[in-house]
Amino acid sequence: MKHAQQSSTEWSDPIKLTVFDKPQLTVSPLWLSPGDSVTLNCEVEHPSAGWRFFWYKTVPDLPYYYSSELLPGSSNGTEQDSYIVHGPTHTAGYKCRAGRGDPVYYTDYSKSQFVWSGGQFVSVSSLTVSPDRVQHFTSDSVSLSCEGNSTEWRVRRFTENSYHSYCSSWGTMSGSTCNIDSFWQSDAVYWCESGSGDFSNAVNITIQHIILVSPVHPVTEGDSVSLSCRLRRQTFESNVFFYRNEKLIQNDTRRELNISAVSKSDEGFYKCQYSQQVSAQSWIRSGDASHISTLSLTRIAPGNTHTLPQTAAKGRRFAVKDSENNQECN
């Protein structure tokens, strides 16, 4: 039996293959105020190598994915590695990639990054929380319900360690409601995504042993507001301290701080303290008269400094919500 003879060519010249990491996208601010523009920055390795940058809006593609839509003026890419989105009005996701050469070689897409609306804008989709507050005790069971013009929903969260995940990882999705078992609770930003491609408002939920409770409905300047301090298991056996802008404003056995008529002088950061336990902070800010402003609950790291808004006008409205909104505390 004869075997076929094998032959081979000489070795080709070597080539160098370089694999680049995904671009890194950053967005600012993370939380939207009325009239804000969002700045996107796309960082690549070797930024001087003739890259052009392509900018995308991420659109929910249920049940598991996102699709991408080019942002205006981005079809041929931009020379600048930054892009400004003017006046977004609700929660949104963005991504970028870079390209160079002819024909164009593209990098992979960056990870999606999100900006959030806390509910002061009108949106076709909305997220509600039960119990109707955003600071919760570690033992609470919490339900997140999605509402809007869709029959298909998913709930997503973004935790303090920058991890994104869906309700199926830490709760049970039943129709348009995500039920979170107390074991899987985490400080995080939560929002809904619909089968029609929409995002809801975002809600920041904090889990603690002591919470500051405030109303979630809008209150007009001049109306009264009540903030109450609650403990998970203990009863109050001594004084409760309430602070505004780190200044003690009430020190007695009352567990509530009552503001009889909200005004500009009430703007600032609020928190309560009992013994060695301190709640997350809350803050009141004013905004454009055509929008609802917010009283937000936020955890501020010790030692950080913040500048409060300098303007307010009579007749503006204040909405009370909870949010770890450090980006708005500049």
For residue range 164-195, list pLDDT tens digits in order. 899 988 999 999 999 987 767 788 999 999 99
User: How many angstroms separate the Cα of 322 from the Cα of each of 186, 188, 205, 260?
Assistant: 15, 11, 7, 21
Would you say 319 and 294 are in contact if contact means Cβ atoms under 8 Å apart? yes
Q: Name the residue range of residue 176's domain.
A: 125-207
Positive or negative CA dihedral for 249, 240, 301, 162? negative
Per-residue model confidence (pLDDT) at position 134: 76
Tell me if 13 is assigned to some domain: no
Tell me if 8 is assigned to some domain: no
Total number of domains in the chain:
3
Positive or negative CA dihedral for 293, 296, 301, 305? positive
Tell me if 18 is assigned to some domain: no
Stretch among 5-9, 23-27, 153-157, 270-274 having the lowest mean pLDDT? 5-9
- Highest mean pLDDT: which range of 27-31, 264-268, 308-312: 27-31
Query: Which residues 6+ apart lie within 8 Å of 208 measured at CB?
Result: 135, 136, 137, 138, 232, 279, 280
Higher pLDDT, 9 or 6: 9
Q: Tokens 């937000």, residue?
A: 296
Per-residue model confidence (pLDDT) at position 186: 81
Provide the mean pLDDT of the chain. Answer: 79
Would you say 52 and 99 are in contact if contact means Cβ atoms under 8 Å apart? yes
Q: What is the pTM of this model?
A: 0.72
Q: Whole-angstrom Cα distance, residue 86 to residue 43?
A: 21
Mark which of 180, 207, 234 sits at the end of a domain.
207
Tell me if 229 is assigned to some domain: yes
Tell me if 71 is assigned to some domain: yes
Q: Strand pairing of 210-213 and 317-320?
A: unpaired
Residues 241 and 296 in one domain: yes
- HSE-CB of 238 using CA atoms within 13 angstroms: 6
Residues 139 and 186 in one domain: yes
Per-residue model confidence (pLDDT) at position 166: 92
In the chain, the amino acid numbered 251 is: N
Tell me if 136 is assigned to some domain: yes
Mark which of 115, 143, 174 sits at the end of a domain.
115
Answer yes or no: is pLDDT of 316 > 60: no
Residues 218 and 313 in one domain: yes
Tell me if 275 is assigned to some domain: yes
Give the mean pLDDT of 8-24: 76
Question: What per-residue string of b and e applies to 112-134 under the rule 16 or more CB within 10 Å gives b?
Answer: bbbbbbbbbbebebbbbbeeebb
Higher pLDDT, 143 or 213: 143
Mark which of 207, 231, 264 sits at the end of a domain.
207
Which helix (H) or strand (E) is 220 found in, with range?
A: strand 219-220
Per-residue model confidence (pLDDT) at position 1: 56
Q: What is the CATH number of the domain that holds 157?
A: 2.60.40.10
Residues 216 and 316 in one domain: yes
Answer yes or no: is pLDDT of 215 > 50: yes
Residues 94 and 155 in one domain: no
Q: Which tokens belong to 84? A: 């400004």
Residues 107 and 131 in one domain: no
Tell me if 120 is assigned to some domain: no
